Structure 1
Amino acid sequence: MDIDLPDVLAEVGAAFARYEQALITNDTAVLGELFRNDSRTIRYGAGENLYGYHEIQAFRGARPAVGLMRRTERTVISSYGRDTAVASTLFYRDSAPGKVGRQMQTWVRFAEGWRIVAASVSMIDEPKPAAEG
């Protein structure tokens, strides 16, 4: 199996960047496009467990469109073959000082393009830096 093919990483990186832009601008049409329209698509959020595309879309439609700005760090995208990839990132919001968000997405290439089939989002206290020894 080919891992981290440059062209696949570039495609998924572009899809991930499109997702991030849609997220912070609350572009629910693009967010809906990028999640696979399937009853098996899952999104575990910071405070919700969403099973199926319709639950995910209902959540997006009901979510307030304020305080969505965030910055990402340590984004890692890995591809496995030509049709599967995982995107992982940390994120920070000014509205949540001392917290770090973690997001993982499984992306699969379908005829219509790259789509998220599983996602998980969580928030933890920002870990303290390791003591220098």
Structure 2
Amino acid sequence: MEINIPEVLAEVTAAFMRYEKALTSNDVAVLDALFCNSPHTIRYGVGENLYGYDQIRAFRAGRSPAGLEREIFNTAITTYGRDFATANTEFRRTSSTKTGRQSQTWMRTADGWKVISAHVSLLG
């Protein structure tokens, strides 16, 4: 079976943009749906290390929706075959002058593209 890389890239980009919209609008249901429901899913945040879907979900449920608006730039989305991809971006919250970085590892599942690992950090 031939892999259509532009098609796969479009799928992952759409999932990434869906995540971005859900993040900035605090749509917790969509954010939960985009993370893989597995005890092996990891999210390292600016001030928290979350191991497993349950911890990630609890973090999202308890997070304040204030100050989530941001601009993203230098986004690079790369596919590795049909079922695996990475998404990396820089961001700046509208309420801050600091630049942040976000990386995600995406995997195609029976339920669509899911984040299996994520990392968020701020520069100085």
How does the TM-score come out when normalised to structure 1? 0.89
Count of matched residue pairs: 123
Rounded Cα–Cα distance in structure 2 between residues aligned with 1:28 and 1:115: 15
Superposed CA RMSD: 1.4
Unaligned runs of 5+ in 1: 126-133
SS at match of 1:10: helix
Rounded Cα–Cα distance in structure 2 between residues aligned with 1:72 and 1:124: 14
Rounded Cα–Cα distance in structure 2 between residues aligned with 1:46 and 1:84: 25
Deviation at 1:58, TM superposition (A): 0.5
The alignment-based identity, stated in percent, is 56
1:12-70 per-residue CA deviation (whole Å, 9 max, x = no partner) reads 00000000000000000000000000000000000000000000000001100110000
What's the counterpart of residue 33 of structure 2? 33
Larger radius of gyration: 1
Deviation at 1:124, TM superposition (A): 0.7
Q: Is the 8 A contact 1:4 1:79 kept in 2?
A: no
What's the counterpart of residue 49 of structure 1? 49
Rounded Cα–Cα distance in structure 2 between residues aligned with 1:47 and 1:57: 16
Deviation at 1:94, TM superposition (A): 2.3
Q: Which stretch of structure 1 is more off in the superposition, 76-85 or 2-11? A: 2-11
1:57-94 per-residue CA deviation (whole Å, 9 max, x = no partner) reads 00001100110000000100000010000000000012
SS at match of 2:64: coil
| 2:122 aligned with 1:123 | yes
Rounded Cα–Cα distance in structure 2 between residues aligned with 1:94 and 1:12: 26
What's the counterpart of residue 109 of structure 1? 108
> Which of structure 1's runs of 4+ aligned residues deviate more than 6 A?
none
